[in-house]
Amino acid sequence: MTIVWFVLRRLAAMVVILAIVSFLIFSLLALAPGDPVLLLLGPAKATPEAIARVRAEFHLDDPFLQQYWSWVGNALHGDFGRSIRSGQRVTEVIAERFPVTLLLAVYAFVLTAVIGIPAGLASGVRRGRKLDRTVTFTSLIGLSAPTFAVAVLLIYVFAIWLGWFPPFGAGEGLGDRIYHTTLPAITLAIGSIAIVSRQTRAASMDVATRDYVTFARARATGSSTIWRRYVLRNAALPVITVAGLVFAFALTGAVLVEYAFALPGIGALLVESVQRLDLPVVQAVALFTA
C-alpha cells in the first residue's frame, strides 16, 4: 500500500508541475512583444481582413483565461492545435523532429554508460592513486564546462581544424546520421559522463566497505572477482537511477546542442518557434520537455 501511495503522490506532483509550467509558458507568451499574425502574413499580406481571419482561426482575440482553458481542454484530448507558421498539426511538427532528438539522446546515453561507469569503477578501485585523481579532476572539468563552450570548441577542433566530422546538419540515412550526430552527442554527454563516473565511484567505494566484501577478501577471493561480482553488482542500483535521470535530461535538455550544431530536433524547433512566436508549437514543446 505504501508503494501505491508513493506512486500516486508522484503522479499528482507531476500533474501539478505540468499545470504550473503550462500556465507560466502561456503567460510569458501572452506578454511577449510582437504579433505572431504579422510575422506569419508579412507586411504585404497583412490586410485588416487577413489579420482578423487568422486571429479568429487561432482564437487570439479571446480573453487570456479563455484561451488557456480552451488549450488545456484540447491538450487533454491530444489536440495541441495547428502551427501558426506552417498550418500543420503541432503533433505532426513534433513527430517530424523527434527522431533526431531521440538519436542524439540515445547516442549521448550510450557514451555516458560506456565511458562513465568504467571510469568511475576504475577510480573507486584505485582510490587515492594517480588514476583516481585524474578521473576526479577530469569529471570536475566536465561538470564545470558550459555546453555552448564545449560545442564551439569541438566544432573548431574536430570539424574545422581536423575536418574529421561535419560541423552541422543531421545527414541522411542511419549511418550518416550517426556520423553527423557524433560531435553533438559528445557535447551533450560530457557533463553526464562526469556525473555518472562520480556516482559510480562513490557507490563502489561505499559497497567496498561492507562486511560481505571484507569476508570475501578474508577468503582470499581475487580482487577482480570481488569488484565484478560483489561491488559492481551491488553498486549498480544508484548508478542505474542516475543513468535514468541522465537519459531524461539528454532527451529534453538538448536545446543548446541542437541549435549549435544546426540539428533539426525538438530543441531547435523550440528556438525557432519562440523566434517566430509560433505559440501552439512553443506550448506543446515546453509541456513535452517539462
Q: Would you write out the chain's pLDDT as a tens digit for each of its 290 residues?
A: 567 776 777 777 777 887 787 788 777 777 766 666 666 666 656 667 666 776 776 666 667 777 778 777 777 777 777 777 777 788 888 888 888 888 888 888 888 888 888 887 777 777 777 877 887 788 788 778 787 888 888 888 888 888 888 877 777 777 777 888 888 888 888 888 888 888 777 777 766 666 666 666 666 566 666 666 666 666 666 667 666 677 777 766 677 788 788 788 887 888 887 777 777 788 888 777 76
Residue 2 amino acid letter: T
162 vs 22: CA distance, rounded Å:
44
25: its cell numbers: 509558458
Cβ burial, residue 121 (10 Å; 0-12/13-18/19+): buried
C-alpha dihedral sign at 254, 257, 260, 264 = negative
Residues in the chain: 290
DSSP 18-84: HHHHHHHHHHHHHHSSS-HHHHHHHHHH--HHHHHHHHHHTTTTS-HHHHHHHHHHHHHTT---B-T
Residue 212 pLDDT: 61
Query: How many Å separate Cα 129 from the centre of its chain?
Result: 34
202 vs 25: CA distance, rounded Å:
38
Residue 231 pLDDT: 65
Residue 237 pLDDT: 66
74 vs 287: CA distance, rounded Å:
14
Residue 139 pLDDT: 78
281: its cell numbers: 508549437
Nearest Cα residue to 198 out of 248, 124, 125, 129: 124
- What distance, in Å, lies between the first and last C-alpha atoms of the chain? 28
- Count how many Cα atoms sit within 13 Å of the Cα of residue 219 in the half-sphere of its side chain: 9
* DSSP state letter for 262: T
Find out whether 277 and 36 touch, Cβ atoms under 8 Å.
Answer: yes
In the chain the domains, ranked by start, together with CATH numbers, are 2-93+269-289 (no CATH), 97-265 (1.10.3720.10)
pLDDT for 40-66, tens place per residue? 666 656 667 666 776 776 666 667 777
Q: Return the residue matching grid coordinates 481582413.
A: 49
Q: What angle do CA 17, 101, 29 make, to 5 degrees?
A: 45
Residue 38 pLDDT: 63
